[in-house]
Chain A
Amino acid sequence: MRNHTDTVKVIEILFLSLGSVIMLFPFIWMISTSFKIPSQIISYPPTLIPRPPTLEYYIQIFAKLRFGRFFLNSGYISTIVTTSALLTSSFVGYVFAKFNFWGKEFIFIMILSTMMIPFAVTMIPLYLIISKLGWVNSHLALIIPGLYSTFGIFLMRQFMSTIPNELREAAIVDGCNEFRTFWSIILPQCKPALAALGIFTFMWNWDSFLWPLIVLTSEEKFTLPVGLAMFSQQWWTNYGLVMAGATVTVIPILIVFFIFQRQFIQGIVLTGLKM
């Protein structure tokens, strides 16, 4: 009996390992291609180790192709939007969780039900609103609509309702005003939820493609995904160059993921749901 389950386990691990190779190999191949000279890239049979390795593509994408710029754009936009979403979500979530006021249920449902609207429906009018405001090809078009996160409000409200009311009451009795209470007493209690929400908001924004593709029109404004998509269509046959671009896009997030993988995966379980 024991032997039998052991064999099953070994076969299982074998299958999972084979799957792991399939999961990782595209990344390995991407990196490998990005260091190969052109003749090796198209040689048959394919070889894994670049011989001789070249840094030519990396020099090109940063020196000539503005990848550094795309990178900075993506980084600063994602940071602003994430910070804002964390602040607004926790603030609004707190008020919904701990206070009663006129129209509360209605407003909450009104906010929450917008999660059902597919982006495809709002993207056209949103584009027109943005162009009326003169924000086409401006990063404001990415930042302003991202100031609030519906999912974040929902998540923070759920989380805040598990914090005991006595905590707030004690602070108020001690003479703290409501804003101070929120900032110094309540917010520090929400670190796990904030971490999860922060990680995902950042990732969604870093990864966001369709909307930036619509509103950004000139190269110096591009975010990393838009820049990479445009540049890969333009330089397609220069595989090494395109793979260097992909590597630069993927690797930073992968490194962050490997360091914080526990928080990432707990975040998925906590936030449950959306991605």
Chain B
Amino acid sequence: MVEKAKRYRVIFSSRNMLILTAILPTVIFYIIFAYGAMIYAFYLSLHNWTLGQPIRFIGFSNYLKVLKEDPLFYKSLGNTFYYSIVVVPLGGILALLLAVGINGLGKLASVFRIIYFAPVVSSLVAISVVWRWLYQPEFGLINEILGILGGPKLMWLQDPHLAMPAVIIMAIWHGVGYTMVIFLAGLQGIPQTFYDAAVIDGANRWQLLRHITVPLLMPTIIFVLVTGVIGSFQVFTEMFVLLGSPGSGPLNSTRTIVVHLYERAFSYFQLGYASATAFILFGIILIFTIIQLRLLRIQWEY
């Protein structure tokens, strides 16, 4: 009897109850909203299903259809790469230069930091609305300034060649402060003595940047690149607001994968097809993340 009561007390001890109340609901939550959802998405991707119509198993046909018969998928893949390949490196380099410039300015540094960070905390939808106004062809500020400088009036968001650059300019403006703050944190980890020694040896500022800052900042740079690519592959809001729903832009010039996916799923309700597209996007992101981690590791572990 006593034995049993003791065991009972151990099993229902406050320690075990704490673990149970923390872990059990969490596991249930993740099983439903993450793993269940993902398995469900995979199930859907194997079916031909438009909302409101009967569901039919078709194996991997959706995947084949996306990859073989959907020119818009390739268009959107290309646009996503275009966006990513410009925004990530250009934003990164700009942020690095800003961080190096600001670092060590003392009081002034915190002022600049606040200013460059302001767009990061601002609602992306609101910012996109503001830039849509700045890009307005007749009365928008950018064209009026170009006009005063004697430049042409550009149809920023109406011209298929300019729509993506317009989105990219805004995206860099919006994100550069975030990356800059990450770099500033990384810079704190580089000992000042390294710079002092190099300056005594007669190094100029470019050499300091090239031979001390960049190599020692490599882990931060890799982090910025990898998360930057993952994020930029899922770009959506900027397009949706700047170019108008669903964000495909003139001649589909700003149709990204998520825009494409959103339209398929929530305008045409082709849920099976859209799920297959989503898994293909997942695969692409995974492959790129692995490639980047591999490539960059080789370079910095010399």
Chain A residues within 8 Å of B, Cβ to Cβ: 8, 12-13, 15-16, 19-20, 22-24, 26-27, 29-30, 33, 41-42, 44-46, 88, 91-92, 94-95, 99, 101, 107, 110-111, 114, 116-129, 145, 147-148, 153, 177-179, 182, 203, 206-207, 209-210, 213-214, 224-226, 228-229, 232-233, 236, 239, 242-243, 245-246, 249-250, 253-254, 257-258, 261, 264-265, 268-269, 272-275
Contact = CB atoms under 8 A, between A and B. Distances in A.
A13 B105 contact: yes
A212 B32 CA distance: 19
Contact of B177 (A23, A26, A225, A254): A23
Contact of B19 (A29, A95, A269): A95
Interface in B131-152: 131-134, 136, 138-139, 141, 144, 147-148
B292 interface: no
A80 B133 CA distance: 34
Nearest to A237: B136
The 6 nearest A-B residue pairs measured at CB = A125-B40, A225-B125, A249-B126, A95-B22, A178-B18, A125-B37
A239 B132 CA distance: 10
How many of chain B's residues touch chain A, expressed as a range?
35 or more
Given A16-B101, A46-B144, A245-B129, A118 B234 contact: yes
B207 interface: no
B237 A210 contact: yes
Interface in B107-157: 108, 112-127, 129-134, 136, 138-139, 141, 144, 147-148
Interface of B: 14-15, 17-19, 22-23, 26-27, 29-30, 32-38, 40-41, 44, 98, 101-102, 105, 108, 112-127, 129-134, 136, 138-139, 141, 144, 147-148, 173, 177-178, 181-182, 185, 205, 223, 227, 230, 233-234, 236-237, 240-241, 244-245, 257-258, 261-262, 265-266, 271, 274-275, 278-279, 281-282, 285-286
Contact of B271 (A124, A210, A228): A124
13 contacts: A23-B119, A24-B115, A26-B134, A30-B130, A42-B138, A95-B19, A118-B233, A207-B123, A210-B258, A229-B241, A257-B118, A264-B117, A272-B182
B29 A117 contact: no
Given A16-B98, A118-B285, A120-B281, A33 B121 contact: no
B125 A99 contact: no
Contact of B127 (A41, A145, A250): A250
Name which of A23, A118, A242 has the most chain B CB atoms within 10 A of its CB: A118
Given A41-B139, A265-B113, A16 B102 contact: yes
B288 to A, nearest CB: 12
Contact of B22 (A92, A129, A145, A233): A92
B149 to A, nearest CB: 12
Contacts of B19: 95, 99, 101
A13 B126 contact: no
A177 B114 CA distance: 45
A155 B147 CA distance: 50
B131 to A, nearest CB: 7
Contacts of A209: 124-125, 236-237, 240
B141 A29 contact: yes
B101 A121 contact: no
A150 to B, nearest CB: 8
A273 B33 contact: no
Contacts, number: 241
A258 B130 contact: no
A44 B286 CA distance: 50
A69 B17 CA distance: 42
A229 B108 CA distance: 36
Contacts of B121: 203, 253-254, 257, 264
B112 A20 contact: yes
